[in-house]
Homo-oligomer: A and B are copies of this chain.
Amino acid sequence: MIDPRLHVLRVLAEVGTLTAAAHRLGYTPSAVSHQLKSLSKDLGVRIVEPRGRGLILTRAGEVLLERSQELFTRWEEIRGELDGLDSGSDIRSRRLRLCGFSTAAATLLPPTASAVKELFPGAEVTIIEAEPEECFDLLVAEHADVAVVVATDPLPPRGDTRFEQAALFSDRLDLLVPAGHRLARRAAVTLSEAAEESWILDRAGSPYHRLVRTACAAAGFQPEQAHQSREWETGAALVSAGLGVALIPRLARLPDGFDVVRVPLRGDPVPSRKILTGIRSGSGSQPIIASALKVLESVSTELAQPE
């Protein structure tokens, strides 16, 4: 509704080079170049200028971006208002697209989807699994309406007026140990009790790696990284083989067949990762989106409740 070329401009402002922006948007550099050129021509104002071998926004470009955000927000509000009063017409029903990182997509979103479908009969609910940073791209591109992401991630734009973010719940971390481990029988342990263990982490630089290091630092030690794993499943396999211990979010379900034990952590604060929701600014006025957020909340407390 609002000129999509503004999205292109915004991505360019973030990444700094036209090529990277194009890649992220699924266009070719040539296309992005033309879009910006035509936008600039339509406005009669120069909005980008070469800086090194990349492009930066001119003052006009920055102002354009800054001010136009209000348009997007306002538009989402209007959409919401429209949905609200269009009682019962099902020209194409409602449509809701939920996106989230893998764990969320597997555990949180399916029950949410079916609950929303019950509240809005005839609505079409889609689930998209995507990396957290990708999620926000999906939001702006209108390929998704609600995002569920991990707060710790590198690029959840903070204070970005494009989005409204809200804390959903804290996903507590459990200590994952082999079946025969000295801590396996304990009802709960503090993180520092595992300070001397060998640790299985994601590779350095990854969001999860940072999360674990931060938690351990808060407990007063540096984990010794013995092995790397990206997926919970491989991590569990390594733990099961006695190669070390790991932290795993309560939400992450493991396949059967691993000889491992989840030991709840206690402490103050209790180690956890923060899950939050994101929507396009203003889109919360759309009934189906508002209701999705509500359902998400009840679903997540329900999942987090069992200890």
Residues of A at the B interface (CB closer than 8 Å) are 1-3, 40-46, 58-60, 63-64, 67-68, 70-71, 74-75, 77-79, 81-83, 85-86, 89, 91-95
Contacts and interface: CB of A to CB of B under 8 A. Distances in A.
A45 B91 contact: yes
A77 B71 CA distance: 11
A189 to B, nearest CB: 51
Nearest to A59: B85
A29 B251 CA distance: 55
27 contacts: A2-B3, A2-B71, A41-B91, A41-B92, A44-B94, A45-B83, A45-B86, A45-B89, A45-B91, A46-B91, A58-B86, A58-B89, A59-B85, A60-B86, A63-B78, A63-B81, A64-B78, A67-B74, A67-B77, A67-B78, A67-B81, A68-B78, A70-B74, A71-B71, A71-B75, A71-B78, A74-B74
Contacts of A85: 59-60, 63
Which secondary structure dominates where chain A touches chain B? helix
Contacts of A89: 45-46, 58
A51 to B, nearest CB: 16
Contacts of A63: 78, 81-82, 85
Contact of A74 (B41, B71, B82, B93): B71
Nearest to A45: B86
A35 to B, nearest CB: 13
Contacts of A70: 74
Contacts of A95: 44
